[in-house]
Amino acid sequence: MPNPRTPRTYRVKSFGCQMNVYDGERMAELLADKGMAPAAEGEDADLVVLNTCHIREKAAEKVYSDIGRLKKADGSKPLIAVAGCVAQAEGEEIMARAPAVSMVVGPQAYHRLPDLLDKAARGERATDTDMPANAKFDVLPQRRRTGPSAFLTVQEGCDKFCTYCVVPYTRGAEISRPYKDLIEEAHKLIDSGAREITLLGQNVNAWSGENAKGDAIGLDGLIRELAKIPDLRRIRYTTSHPMDVTEGLVSVHFEVDKLMPFLHLPVQSGSDRVLKAMNRSHTAESYLRLLERFRAARPDIALSGDFIVGFPGETDAEFEETLKLIDEVRYAQAFSFKYSARPGTPAADMDGHIAPEVMDERLQRLQAAINRDQLAFNQASAGKTCTVLVERKGKHPGQWLGKSPWLQSVHFTGNAAIGDLVAVELAEAGPNSLSARLLEPATA
Ligand code: SAH
Ligand code: SF4
Ligand code: F3S
């Protein structure tokens, strides 16, 4: 008789950024490697891994309500593991507050999940929030299954210490994965069906390493090497920090066709006083000059950013400066957030916290500006021909969904299959997607 607590099926739920999603995929592979099967859609899992995010208060609070809600059809609780950045930041508190949780495992320690599972099967509760840099990558199983668009974490951690942000505490110091490992993992992903790889890092453009010849290279060098792999058709990277933008990174957008014309470069605010209080290392002006350089290298580049409204002390006039910056840039898309005070960060103790209704109003105005520009960007794309990487089936018969080079969601009808790279003419533009006409059969 197997131990009744020995789980046979698992479900990993990821709540955070792309790196958190990547970690979720790797944990799933690890569990599959241990002989467990993913729980079928709509069915109970014996083990649920909550792969959490700590970036804003709401994200962190969600964990506790999720733990409370998790139940199998027969009313019993599955085994619960809490992973991700809340696990790292509040491991002990989770253990104390949520007795239903058997395992807590941090983002640098999840390769040891199988050990924790063995303990849980014996009825022991265990926490592992060690931060051995890079150790997990050496023991994780090989990549096996992937869709046409795959994530590859190349850099982790953050040394920037923006005053509002928990990432330097939950993810630790900046580290770069070795070049050789990345090329190897890229090949595995491509062999498993990936046509596009998005290189990930909290500050992905801080990546540095040595190529096969032993030369020191940066992210642009890595992109140039990856572009030589014939079956890899598209390369993306995210998230970049203005401080680590190099001339090489700018020019690789001009030189490497496989690098998609898209740049996510968070700015957070358009006010230099606020930027300074945030400990961002750039001004509004220096940020705008960086974007100009990218646009000169790749005139059609789609720009994306992150914004925080209501940072402590932000005045109406300072907020207006952010709107002014948005007007100047004309983003293709952007993410925006209300400032959320995170315990242990310097900004949480600053004076001048902004009232929630003021934040609401600022966020609405900012998002209206972004939506206006996003629609305008999509409308300006109508009539262009481009490739679309087909990622999944659409709702209607014969309909397919995929992404344009500019990361727009595109839908079209015709003869295609998942993983195809097809030529289309973009047609009607909506705020969040475009329709397209298929021009020629698949090229991949
Ligand atoms: N390393 C990336 C961003 C990582 S976090 C960078 O610096 O560009 C993703 C986004 O979450 C940030 O860009 C910021 O806009 C937002 N964010 C981080 N901490 C926040 C907080 N305390 N409150 C609100 N938004 C926050
Ligand atoms: Fe957070 Fe700033 Fe680091 Fe980005 S650069 S992860 S916002 S501390
Ligand atoms: Fe969230 Fe951690 Fe990513 S806090 S945004 S999951 S690095």
Is 70 a domain residue?
Answer: yes
Domain that residue 242 falls in: 136-381
In angstroms, what is the span from residue 349 Cα to ligand 2's centroid?
18
Is 443 a domain residue?
Answer: no
Residue 298 shares a structural domain with residue 341: yes
**Of the residues 132, 163, 196, the one at which a domain ends:** 132
Residues 151-167: b if buried by 16+ CB within 10 A, e if exposed: bbbbbbbbebebbbbbb
**Of the residues 84, 107, 132, the one at which a domain ends:** 132
Residues 310-341: tens digit of each pLDDT: 999 999 999 999 999 999 999 999 999 999 99
In angstroms, what is the span from residue 165 Cα to ligand 1's centroid?
6
Residue 30 shares a structural domain with residue 123: yes
User: For position 434, which CATH number holds?
Assistant: 2.40.50.140
In angstroms, what is the span from residue 390 Cα to ligand 2's centroid?
32
User: For position 175, which CATH number holds?
Assistant: 3.80.30.20
Is 257 a domain residue?
Answer: yes
Residue 285 shares a structural domain with residue 396: no
DSSP-derived secondary structure letter, 259: B
pLDDT value of position 4 = 46
Residue 238 shares a structural domain with residue 118: no
- The dihedral region occupied by 79, where left means phi > 0, alpha psi between -120 and 50, and beta the remainder, is beta
Residue 177 shares a structural domain with residue 209: yes
> CA separation (Å) from 375 to 58, 302, 370, 381?
29, 13, 9, 10
Is 85 a domain residue?
Answer: yes
In angstroms, what is the span from residue 259 Cα to ligand 2's centroid?
24
Is 3 a domain residue?
Answer: no
Is 234 a domain residue?
Answer: yes
**Of the residues 381, 409, 427, the one at which a domain ends:** 381
52 within ligand 3 shell (Cβ under 6 A): no
User: For position 85, which CATH number holds?
Assistant: 3.40.50.12160
Which ligand is located closest to the Cα atom of residue 161? 2
Please give the model's pTM, rounded to 2 decimal places. 0.95
**Closest ligand 3 atom to the C-alpha of 52?**
6
Report the residue among 306, 339, 340 best suited for mutation to probe ligand 1: largest number of ligand atoms under 8 A from its CB. 306
Which residue numbers in the chain have pLDDT < 50?
1-4, 444
pLDDT value of position 443 = 52
Among protein residues, the one with the nearest Cα to ligand 2's atom 1 is 165
Residue 207 shares a structural domain with residue 276: yes
Collect all residues with Cβ–Cβ distance below 8 Å to 35 and sequence separation of at least 6: none
167 within ligand 3 shell (Cβ under 6 A): yes
Residue 395 shares a structural domain with residue 279: no
pLDDT value of position 2 = 40
**Closest ligand 1 atom to the C-alpha of 160?**
7
Domain count, the chain: 3
Residues 240-292: tens digit of each pLDDT: 999 999 999 999 999 999 999 999 999 999 999 999 999 999 999 999 999 99
pLDDT value of position 62 = 87
Q: Give the helix/strand (H/E) hosting 307.
A: strand 302-309
Residue 322 shares a structural domain with residue 393: no
Residue 75 shares a structural domain with residue 152: no
Count of alpha carbons within 13 angstroms of residue 104, beta-carbon side: 24
Is 444 a domain residue?
Answer: no
- The dihedral region occupied by 88, where left means phi > 0, alpha psi between -120 and 50, and beta the remainder, is alpha
- In the numeric block, which tokens belong to residue 202? 């909290």
Q: Is the dihedral of CA 128, 133, 135, 140 positive or negative?
A: positive
Residue 20 shares a structural domain with residue 99: yes
- In the numeric block, which tokens belong to residue 164? 């509002």
> CA separation (Å) from 44 to 33, 70, 73, 295, 392?
20, 10, 7, 49, 25
* CA 426 to chain CA mean position, Å: 26
Of 439, 337, 393, 396, which Cα lies nearest the Cα of 147? 393
Residue 376 shares a structural domain with residue 394: no
Collect all residues with Cβ–Cβ distance below 8 Å to 356 and sequence separation of at least 6: 338
> CA separation (Å) from 162 to 262, 267, 280, 325, 348?
24, 12, 6, 20, 12
**Closest ligand 3 atom to the C-alpha of 86?**
4
Is 229 a domain residue?
Answer: yes
Residue 345 shares a structural domain with residue 397: no
84 within ligand 3 shell (Cβ under 6 A): yes
